[in-house]
Structure 1
Amino acid sequence: MSISVTYLSGIILILIVLLVSTCDARNPSQEVRVVINSKIGAGIDLKIHCKSKDGDLGEHVIPYGGNYGFKFTPNYFGFTLFSCSFSWQNQYHRMDIYDSTRDYTLCDKTCLWLVKSKGPCMFDGKEKICYKWK
């Protein structure tokens, strides 16, 4: 019985992909922390309300320069999403503060956000990545 070279090379390629993806996988029980810092403006309180499909984190008020944070264990075999609403004075905006498809490689253990009136900015350890409000 002979096995074609194409079939054999396909099996080898699949094994290599599985090996590489296994080596790159994170610890499934590793927590991620999201920290949100208010840079809206001096004397202005930022109200936030974050939730995922699994739970509501409630409403919190962050004074200028203050922080709010939460921890969770992402679903590394699926999809994890935390969406937040942000309001101050007469402004109301939304942002996905953690999206596993976007943030998996950007923030390994801590996602640090600076929320400004123009939009939120994340520090990925090297530089600031800013987004527009939804």
Structure 2
Amino acid sequence: MRMWRYLDATFLVVLTFLTTFNTENFAAALFEIEKVVVRNSLGPGETMRIHCKSGNVDLGEHSLSNDESFEFSFTISWWTMYRCNLYWDNDRRYEEIHVFDVSRQDHEFCRPKCGWKIKQDGAYCFRDRDTDQGSMKTFYRLYAW
């Protein structure tokens, strides 16, 4: 009886995976090295503190002056998600963003590098999107504040 429950649970996980992700692109990205770059674009004189984590991986806290960047690399897996806490304006402003999330299909949109600009009105992520006018490579605001 336990064996059937295990097989049923395994089948549901696989079925969910196959219907949730574009498996061809995900399989190609799985276990590849991904790079994330987060740039302070808040403006002159604005220092930003950034603290990024994923599960039990803690990348520590870093202080970035305007136009400075923090970058890190990792291997993509089934559940990869990195979030960063951002502090600026003498710590009066705080935001949390997901700079890489497999469930958001970042492995398709920003491979092999996820570039972010943190501005006063939100967090912008570099995306390469195909349109009927061709490929558009630009920053899109994914978080507004």
TM-score of the aligned structures, taking structure 2 as reference length: 0.71
Superposed displacement of residue 22, structure 1: 5.3
The structure with the largest helix share of the pair is 2
1:120 partnered with 2:120: no
Structure 1: give runs of 5+ residues left out of the alignment. Answer: 1-16
Runs of 4+ in 1 over 4 A off after TM superposition: 20-24
**Separation in 1, partners of 2:74, 2:60:** 15
- Cα pair distance change 1:112/1:22, threshold 3 Å: closer
1:72 partnered with 2:83: no
Superposed displacement of residue 29, structure 1: 3.2
Aligned to 2:65: 63
Q: In 2, are the aligned partners of 1:94 and 1:133 still within 8 Å (CA)?
A: no
Aligned to 1:110: 113
- Residue by residue over 1:14-43, the C-alpha shift from the partner in whole angstroms, topping out at 9 and shown as x without a partner, is xxx9xx945862153310000011101101
Q: In 2, are the aligned partners of 1:52 and 1:81 still within 8 Å (CA)?
A: yes
Instruction: List aligned pairs for 1:1-134, cutoff 5 A.
Output: 21=23, 25-26=27-28, 28-75=30-77, 78-89=78-89, 90-102=92-104, 103-125=106-128, 126-133=137-144
| 2:82 counterpart SS class | strand
Q: In 2, are the aligned partners of 1:44 and 1:88 still within 8 Å (CA)?
A: yes
Matched to 1:42, the amino acid is P
Number of residue pairs matched by the alignment: 114
**Separation in 1, partners of 2:41, 2:25:** 39
Structure 2: give runs of 5+ residues left out of the alignment. Answer: 1-17, 129-136
Q: In 2, are the aligned partners of 1:86 and 1:92 still within 8 Å (CA)?
A: yes
CA RMSD of aligned residues (A): 2.1
